[in-house]
């Protein structure tokens, strides 16, 4: 068959590919532990599930407005008011089929062919493909483990080009867990605005920070709505990955464009998920705090364990639920890169991880610690035996 040229610009998602591989192995009866995909182990909290059941029982199953029901957009506005003291109106909000649709739609609406997009590296594996799909050109902004994978204005100065139109900013970061302070984020945003660079702030993990309060670009959006979009979703913080609920906070004109695009592609998100999302965003938030504390405990357990692995460097992440250890000291002619390390771990330890290549850093591998304490520690012990025994 002949496929469109644009398909040459994108590759399969490494995280989802590893997840599919793990599920296939499990279906064949092979005992595999997946630390590959970023998916909370907890069930969606009970009051959220009850709201979904009620919506089903009340037959809330007709079409809704494309942006979502007003009640949900208001719940998003209340969230920003409560968390970040930012006033937003429902016309500044669109609900999307997960954070991915927020990202792609915002890029499709703003980028022209050949526009350069600054992308701090390591980056979440889907960003470069999304940028290329929208006609843009990813321009990497390297960061190092020695600086806790943070970038600053001097890094942006080195990477910027005359054709730069956008920055994708992701704090806390998937895969590194780097979380910026408000001051660090402010410096980045200030520089972007001074250079007429639009900022997409992907805040999918904003509630999952361990050493500080949640940080957001929402305050910058309130002051410069034409230059900033804030993206978030319920997959991680509310343990609802399969429900596909993401959202974009942006200028009303940008939301109108996203809506025009979305109605032709997917329409609104699932009506039942909308009612569940209202329950999630309205609270209570003690379920979020419980999950955050369990991730914090697992982070500390996992970092302590990996720090006993000779040669492996594992910076302690400040947010999200991933570890991104540098395993390059273990490379040999037989196991020359992080893909080979992950293959070895899958075959010998029956543990699935994602090679750092997929995130722009071939020295590292990514592990999710969003699994139970026992599963995590057992997997790490098996990995250690496979790598060092």
Which residues of this chain interact with ligand GLU, rule CB under 6 A?
13, 15-16, 37-38, 126, 174
Q: Quick one: tokens of 385?
A: 């035996």
Closest approach, Cβ 383 to ligand GLU, in A, equals: 18
CB-nearer residue toward ligand GLU: 35 or 151? 35
| Smallest separation, CB 151 to ligand GLU (Å) | 20
**Contact between 136 and 117 (Cβ < 8 Å):** yes
* Shortest distance (Å) from residue 283 CB to ligand GLU: 24
CB of 369: closest distance to ligand GLU in angstroms?
Answer: 12
User: By three-state DSSP, how is residue 13 classified?
Assistant: coil
Instruction: Report the residue number whose CB is nearest to ligand GLU.
Output: 38
Q: In angstroms, what CA-CA distances link 76 with 5, 237, 283?
A: 38, 14, 12
Q: Which is nearer to ligand GLU, 13 or 216 (CB)?
A: 13
Going by the DSSP 8-state scheme, the letter that residue 64 receives in this structure is -
Cα distance between residue 154 and residue 146, in whole Å: 16
For every residue of 113-178, which 3-state class applies, written as one string?
Answer: CCCEEEEEECCCCCHHHHHHHCCCEEEEEECCHHHCCCCCHHHHHHHCCCCEEEEEEECCCCCCCC
User: Smaller CB distance to ligand GLU: residue 269 or 278?
Assistant: 269
174 vs 294, beta carbon nearer ligand GLU: 174
Whole-number minimum distance, CB 38 to ligand GLU, in Å? 3
What are the backbone dihedrals phi and psi of residue 97, each rounded to the nearest 5 degrees, phi first?
A: -75, 70
By beta-carbon proximity to ligand GLU, the closer residue of 165 and 236 is 236
Joined together, the tokens standing for residue 13 give: 């998602």
User: Residue 68's closest CA among 103, 37, 102, 44?
Assistant: 102
Nearer to ligand GLU, 35 or 134 (CB): 35
Nearest residue to 107 (alpha-carbon basis) of 82, 128, 79: 128
Find the shortest distance in angstroms from Cβ 2 to ligand GLU.
28
Taking the complex as a whole, the smallest distance from the CB of residue 17 to ligand GLU amounts, in Å, to 9
Q: Which is nearer to ligand GLU, 143 or 173 (CB)?
A: 173
CA distance 103 to 99: 6
């Amino acid at each position: 068959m002949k496929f469109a040229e644009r398909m040459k610009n994108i590759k399969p998602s490494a995280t989802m590919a590893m997840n599919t591989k793990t599920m296939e192995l499990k279906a064949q009866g092979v005992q595999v532990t997946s630390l590959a995909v970023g998916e909370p182990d907890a069930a969606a909290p009970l009051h959220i599930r009850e709201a979904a059941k009620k919506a089903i029982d009340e037959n809330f199953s007709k079409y809704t407005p494309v942006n979502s029901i007003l009640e949900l957009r208001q719940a998003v506005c209340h969230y920003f008011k409560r968390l970040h003291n930012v006033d937003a109106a429902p016309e500044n909000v669109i609900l999307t089929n997960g954070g991915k649709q927020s990202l792609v739609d915002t890029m499709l609406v703003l980028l022209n062919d050949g526009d350069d997009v600054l992308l701090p590296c390591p980056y979440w594996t889907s960003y470069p493909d999304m940028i290329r799909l929208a006609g843009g050109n990813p321009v990497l902004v390297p960061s190092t483990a020695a600086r806790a994978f943070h970038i600053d204005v001097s890094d942006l100065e080195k990477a910027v080009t005359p054709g730069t139109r956008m920055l994708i900013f992701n704090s806390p970061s998937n895969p590194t867990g780097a979380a910026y302070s408000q001051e660090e984020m402010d410096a980045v945003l200030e520089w972007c605005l001074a250079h007429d660079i639009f900022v997409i702030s992907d805040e999918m993990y904003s509630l999952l920070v361990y050493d500080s309060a949640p940080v957001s670009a929402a305050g910058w959006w309130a002051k410069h709505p034409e230059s900033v979009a804030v993206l978030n979703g319920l997959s991680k913080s509310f343990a609802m990955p399969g429900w596909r609920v993401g959202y974009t906070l942006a200028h009303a004109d940008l939301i109108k464009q996203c809506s025009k695009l979305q109605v032709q592609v997917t329409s609104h998100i699932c009506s039942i998920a909308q009612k569940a999302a209202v329950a999630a965003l309205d609270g209570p938030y003690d379920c979020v705090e419980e999950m955050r504390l369990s991730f914090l405990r697992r982070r500390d357990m996992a970092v302590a364990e990996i720090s006993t692995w000779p040669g492996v460097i594992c910076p302690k992440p400040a947010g999200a639920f991933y570890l991104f250890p540098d395993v390059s000291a273990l490379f040999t002619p037989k196991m020359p890169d992080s893909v080979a390390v992950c293959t070895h771990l899958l075959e010998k330890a029956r543990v699935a991880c994602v090679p750092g290549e997929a995130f722009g850093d071939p020295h590292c591998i990514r592990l999710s610690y969003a699994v139970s304490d026992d599963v995590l520690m057992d997997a790490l012990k098996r990995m250690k035996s496979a790598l060092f025994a």
